[in-house]
Chains A and B, each alone.
Chain A
């Protein structure tokens, strides 16, 4: 009997009778992070890292949820569980599961780059490593993030000198705050869309961010002019965006590494900035975990598993309902 099984409802630990990031309602769910494909509605009890508690309650409403600290262990019927930083977004955790000396790690989503807002990725040694591979192709190689942030700041400053407003888009939990954290506030004021503002305010209790101002009906166009507006990608082309006046649009995502994706998005500027590990990131983590077995869950799973097998690992793919963040659909 494997310690974790892939069932219709999610990743299941029979010994403890709990599910990890289940996609259907269950009695007890252990949650890796707050994105909507991992933290789903309908379970009776949730256990997650403490930062995720206000995020999940904001999204799922009234639920029964317990928060834990990183590294704090808790036992359920002899199985030891603990959360460890995954570096993906604030609160994101790898879930370590130990029973009778055997260790499994479920990564949820992760990245090895340090982003300035999430607790940096912690390497956990294990026997079986259940890994995402959203960007599991050798064509994905991330640049140093600070260079990307410099580009963004230059783009804004340049727009500002041309009296054009900069509309910078990224998903609401994680990406937008990462962008905000590195914005050069000397350039001007930072405005936000409602969805961005709400999530940012939730995270302000854990992380310091520059001041932002929510755009409301009373906000005057002239006030916004030349400044920076942070918003989710869905506003692209909307009437909300049209009301901002003359804008230059910018979009930050790992998919912007592809020229075809950039053209499809049809934004003025794209910034390659991802909250997932790139090819080298994935491989270096896998090597360092010392694991014997690897299960790939979402992303280019078949290709990545085949590569691992050819290189001597015991790797396989399991189907899950984690929606891979793709060029066109966004996690929220």
Chain B
């Protein structure tokens, strides 16, 4: 734990990527494999199950820090991070040799079998004996999300230097669901057994938004085009008579989509496909929201399958006849995919093929992009004809050119303090639209303002608070913002009756008064 906490502290004390890589490389070189493996797991968001809820942790921390609950809660909202609030509040009182990272996690895993009193005395012992950073890291493990601003890519690069295995091979080995509880450093990283690999996905290749001068710089003939489907990016693996479905977040979601099981008998073993899961009923692509209903459920009933049927819209093939073909060029991969598709579609399987388009000039591309609504897409994908299927976010091969977002002018009505680097600033806003002379909440948005604007809005909120509800401040309706969003669907769960997708602030409308803001009726016009 001492070494791991020191690692996090060191990573925190530089702002230079190369230094971070060096620090991590040195850590992997000098740390026992057991601990390294847990470090890799934590830094790639694989965490042990949570043994305690945060309410208990808050109560215990207030008790140990000898401050009233309300004061601890206020402090937490200002610091913006529970793990950090606890480590700042609870003093180090006793000196014990800290356990290693893997020992400490073993202790945390064992908590599951303990009663509350035992849990409390364990947590108190550790809180009292850890130094600041150890306590912070310990709390981060306890509270679940270990997001500390170190990307998985950076970690993989450092590990690659430490174990001298190529970065893309390592990235592949670290994919999917694994746990240090059931594997070892040797098995996972150094010497994986191919037999254990049948569910292993490939790293997803990601697209960049296009630059403004893209069309001036690029020859349209070098590119092929597809619509950008608005569903869930997924990788479908068929190996040894089994199928596995992975989400972009590296979660195994096979069980959520049982209708894909019919594909096992149709697609030959040794095939890996990249595509988009879409709700699809009566030959029409549905709303993203419907898909979320299916992901949200623990078990997928027959009724739900009938209500919200799905398809997988295929657009790439990464493995064919058991071979990794990511190095084939895109056109060749597309040909293989198409011939496979033609063979199986006759069986009425739940698949579609994303149509590849070619254009003679950029104007025609623009026209196609305008058809996004009609095609139920969010715009266009632009892929280089001779590109390989690369790794992560490599620039130059795949681009997205989204449709222009829908926008609406709304009034700021509530605000909360932000987290992480936005500590102590009001950055989480709620916006409302008019409905019969009343302002009705319709969306929350966190992003889009510059740091300077955030400071100004923060000041306004602090000076114009009408009421407080715990950490939430009700603000005098005065500021108008233009809110952009991707899509809209009816929703019984939202006050306004609508759920908008990916709302964000486009700009601050200094020129508008609240009376100029839009109405719920205006919002309704966007329903397709």
Residues of A at under 8 Å CB distance from B?
Answer: 137-141, 249, 257-264, 266-270, 300, 303, 306-307, 310, 326-329
Contact = CB atoms under 8 A, between A and B. Distances in A.
11 contacts: A137-B71, A138-B67, A264-B421, A264-B422, A267-B15, A268-B14, A268-B16, A270-B13, A303-B74, A307-B68, A327-B423
A137 B15 contact: no
Contacts of B70: 306
B85 A260 contact: no
A258 B79 contact: yes
B120 interface: no
Given A268-B13, A268-B16, A260 B420 contact: yes
B91 A260 contact: no
Interface in B64-123: 65, 67-68, 70-72, 74-75, 78-81, 84-85, 88-89, 91
Contacts of A270: 13
A263 B84 contact: no
Nearest to B422: A260
B315 to A, nearest CB: 37
Would you list the 3 A-B pairs with minimal beta carbon distance, nearest first? A260-B423, A139-B88, A263-B421
A139 B89 contact: yes
A270 B13 CA distance: 7
B462 to A, nearest CB: 10
Given A139-B79, A262-B12, A257 B88 contact: yes
Contact of A259 (B81, B91, B455): B81
A268 B425 CA distance: 22
Contacts of A310: 68
Nearest to B468: A302
B74 A258 contact: no
A138 B84 contact: no
Nearest to B68: A310
A260 B85 CA distance: 11
B88 A141 contact: yes
Interface residues of B, number: 33
Nearest to B16: A268
B71 A138 contact: yes
B18 to A, nearest CB: 12
Contacts of A307: 68, 71
A139 B85 CA distance: 7
The dominant DSSP class at the B interface is helix
Contacts of A268: 13-16
Interface of B: 12-16, 65, 67-68, 70-72, 74-75, 78-81, 84-85, 88-89, 91, 136, 149, 419-425, 451, 455
A100 B456 CA distance: 45
Nearest to A310: B68
Nearest to A261: B423
A216 B44 CA distance: 48
The interface centre, meaning the residue of A139, A300, A303 with most chain B CB atoms within 10 A of its CB, is A139
Contacts of B419: 260
B424 A326 contact: yes
The interface centre, meaning the residue of B16, B80, B424 with most chain A CB atoms within 10 A of its CB, is B424
Given A138-B65, A257-B88, A266-B15, 5 more contacts: A138-B67, A139-B79, A139-B89, A260-B80, A307-B68
B424 A138 contact: no
Nearest to A326: B424
A264 B15 CA distance: 11
Contact of A303 (B14, B71, B423): B71
A137 B75 contact: yes
A318 B71 CA distance: 20
Nearest to A327: B424
Contacts of B72: 138
A138 B12 contact: no
Given A139-B89, A268-B13, A260 B81 contact: yes
A169 to B, nearest CB: 14
B75 A138 contact: yes
B455 A137 contact: no
A140 B85 CA distance: 10
A299 B423 CA distance: 16
Contacts of A264: 421-423
A310 B70 CA distance: 11
A259 B84 contact: yes
B89 A328 contact: no
B422 to A, nearest CB: 7
B421 to A, nearest CB: 4
Contacts of A262: 12
A33 B451 CA distance: 31
Contacts of B74: 137, 303
A267 B80 CA distance: 20
B74 to A, nearest CB: 5
A91 B69 CA distance: 39
Contacts of A139: 75, 78-79, 85, 88-89
Nearest to B455: A328
The interface centre, meaning the residue of B68, B71, B85, B455 with most chain A CB atoms within 10 A of its CB, is B71
B12 A259 contact: yes
Nearest to A302: B74
Contacts of A140: 88
B79 A260 contact: yes
Nearest to A258: B423
B248 to A, nearest CB: 26
Contacts of A137: 71, 74-75, 78
A67 B72 CA distance: 44
A323 B506 CA distance: 30
A327 B458 CA distance: 12
Nearest to A279: B67
A48 B367 CA distance: 73
